[in-house]
Amino acid sequence: MFDVSAIVWLLALPICQGFILSTGSGSERVCFGELGCFDQKPPFRSSSRPFSVLPKSPADLKTQFLLRTRATPTSDVQEIVSDAASVQKSHFDGSKKTKFLVHGFTHHGKRQWLQDLAAELLRAEDVNVIIVDWGNGAGLPYDQASSNTRVVGAQIAQLINAMIKTAHSSPDKFHIIGHSLGAHVSGYAGERVKNLGRISGLDPAGPYFEGTPPKVRLDPTDAVLVDNIHANGAGILSIGMGTKQAMGDVDFYPNGGAEQPGCDSNLLKKILHTGWNAVTLGLYGAEAAVSCSHERSYYLYTETINSVCPFKAFPCANFEDFDAGKCLHCNGNGCSRMGYHADKSSAKGSLYLETKSASTYCGYHYQVNITADTPMDGEVHIQLHGTKQDTDLLPLTKGSGEIKNNGDKVSHLVVTRTDIGNVTGITVKYDKTAGLLTTWMYPDNWKVMGVSILEGKTEKTSSFCAYGKSIKSHSQTDFKVTGQC
């Protein structure tokens, strides 16, 4: 399914999009029976989607609905079609909740991430899981695949409506989880099911959708709750495949939502790494390099399902402020949990969090402030001590020379993998790195006045009074909670 030409396409996308997209043909409209008619007039054709084409027919798409339940978790899946007899013959149980999983561009229903996501869902809850395989419609060229999403969405809606009618289910029991183009498939489905319970968009595809009218893309009216994860909204010039644009009731921006930690972020590195992986690891390896951040969205979502770490996300004006640790407050009920448990909170709008660069991704956020009495130039590492456990020694400063003057403050966000419980102390390590010419400006002992730590999980602040305690360069000093200075 994912062939060499797809790699070439992905690399060539920003440069010569126009040459490899199919050109629109004469016909303006196609009709597919009960699914209705689809045209390629505005808003489906616009400057954001100049090569808009008509979608393929259901006969060409051969969309499959693959059912998994706890009774048939890994065995061969049952295929159901949207008629009463087929629904009744299957293991589908209308009294239980149903999760539809929809893949995106160049993927198909057998991809490993879908099996893993299904397994985690079934581990968490006794639900019906239906993997939507529209691999025949998701391939090249991109404009055709993005057009096909409309028909696949209509097919899902047709099946859901049949299930509501014949299996005594109800719209609130349905939740569609769609990645990339699959997020917009979910939107088209939601548009046709009145009061559909929920849609989770995993890095909704950007090209052909960002900036288009709500009818063309996933939007908050498509379900009672629409929650999205934005992982690769870096823009087309950096081969960003997702959107930066908020498209839900609540939109999560892990690590800012443009690129993910552990993934290449610049165009040249992406291309080189993709080529290298293509040679050494084959095609999925190449794909993993070029769409690393885009794929991270489903790895994150899968982890959120059964994680004890809450993926707590905070409201903030922008990611720069968040990264400076300024936003670890919920201001009432403004926080939510990114991913599967986003429905446990009524928080709306754009929420931020940071995650780690490799699995497990979830982290706990702390803002650490150190007020100093002398200037310093060097690296600061900290270790947090808690009632449950301690962290490793973690880097705190991001550049050298952050404290130039007496009374300045270092303020940074620190993300730990483990829940340390209540903060009881902190170890601070200072390594002077000032160069030969400036070393005279910075004493070897860094005199610290106080340390304060805000925990994101509890929104509690712990203060450590230092009264001018000195930290010798290349050594470390412990502070215990002592209250205010």
Ligand X SMILES: *[C@@H]1O[C@H](CO)[C@@H](O)[C@H](O)[C@H]1NC(C)=O
Please report, in angstroms and rounded to a whole number, the separation of the first and last CA atoms in the chain: 64
Question: Of 180-188, 304-312, 453-461, 474-482, which segment contacts ligand X by CB under 6 A?
Answer: 453-461
Q: What share of the chain is helix, strand, coil (3-state, %, to 5)?
A: 30, 25, 45
Query: Residue 55, preceding bond cis, omega within 30 degrees?
Result: no
Question: Of 16-24, 269-277, 426-434, 452-460, which segment contacts ligand X by CB under 6 A?
Answer: 452-460
Question: Of 86-94, 159-167, 301-309, 448-456, which segment contacts ligand X by CB under 6 A?
Answer: 448-456
- Joined together, the tokens standing for residue 25 give 């043909």
Rg of the chain over Cα atoms, rounded to whole angstroms, equals 25
* 323 in contact with ligand X (CB under 6 A): no
CA distance 143 to 166: 36
To the nearest whole angstrom, how small is the minimum distance from the Cβ of residue 370 to ligand X? 9
To the nearest whole angstrom, how small is the minimum distance from the Cβ of residue 83 to ligand X? 55
Among 41, 62, 215, 388, binds ligand X (CB under 6 A): 388
Instruction: Determine whether 294 is an active site residue.
Output: yes
DSSP annotation of 248 reads: S
Q: Is the dihedral of CA 140, 302, 247, 158 positive or negative?
A: positive
DSSP annotation of 390 reads: B
* 406 in contact with ligand X (CB under 6 A): no
Site size with ligand X, rule: CB under 6 A: 12
Q: Which of 90, 146, 180, 345 is catalytic?
A: 180
* 422 in contact with ligand X (CB under 6 A): yes
Q: Which of 97, 361, 86, 271 is nearest to 353 (CA)?
A: 361
Site string for ligand X, 358-387 (x = CB under 6 A): ---------x-x-----------------x
To the nearest whole angstrom, how small is the minimum distance from the Cβ of residue 462 to ligand X? 8
Q: Which of 207, 279, 265 is nearest to 17 (CA)?
A: 207
Q: Which of 107, 108, 184, 294 is catalytic?
A: 294
Phi, psi of 93 (to 5 degrees): -120, 105
13 or 415: whose CB is closer to ligand X? 415
To the nearest whole angstrom, how small is the minimum distance from the Cβ of residue 452 to ligand X? 4
Determine if residue 219 is labeled as part of a ligand binding site: yes
To the nearest whole angstrom, how small is the minimum distance from the Cβ of residue 320 to ligand X? 14
485: Cβ contacts below 8 Å, ≥ 6 apart? 449, 450, 463, 465, 466, 467
CB atoms within 10 A of CB 384: 25
Q: Where are the alpha helices (DSSP H) in 310-435?
A: 319-323
Would you call 252 helix, strand, or coil by DSSP? Answer: strand
Determine if residue 133 is labeled as part of a ligand binding site: no
CB atoms within 10 A of CB 468: 11
Among 141, 162, 452, 466, binds ligand X (CB under 6 A): 452
To the nearest whole angstrom, how small is the minimum distance from the Cβ of residue 324 to ligand X? 8
Among 461, 470, 473, 482, binds ligand X (CB under 6 A): 461
- Contact (Cβ atoms closer than 8 angstroms) between residue 9 and residue 241: no
- Contact (Cβ atoms closer than 8 angstroms) between residue 361 and residue 395: no
CA 232 from chain center: how many Å? 8
412 or 429: whose CB is closer to ligand X? 412
17 or 424: whose CB is closer to ligand X? 424
Determine if residue 76 is labeled as part of a ligand binding site: no
Burial class (CB in 10 A: 0-12, 13-18, 19+), 364: buried
DSSP string, 93-112: -TTS-EEEEE--TT--TT-H
461 or 476: whose CB is closer to ligand X? 461
* 106 in contact with ligand X (CB under 6 A): no
Among 454, 456, 466, 479, binds ligand X (CB under 6 A): 454
To the nearest whole angstrom, how small is the minimum distance from the Cβ of residue 460 to ligand X? 7
* Residues constituting the chain: 485
Instruction: Determine whether 179 is an active site residue.
Output: no
- Joined together, the tokens standing for residue 373 give 């009495």
Q: Which of 133, 143, 203, 373 is catalytic?
A: 203
* 457 in contact with ligand X (CB under 6 A): no
6 or 328: whose CB is closer to ligand X? 328
140 or 327: whose CB is closer to ligand X? 327
Among 48, 411, 473, 482, binds ligand X (CB under 6 A): 411
Binding site for ligand X (CB under 6 A): 367, 369, 387-388, 409, 411, 421-422, 452-454, 461
Catalytic residues: 180, 203, 294
**Which residues fall in the annotated binding site?**
217, 219, 222
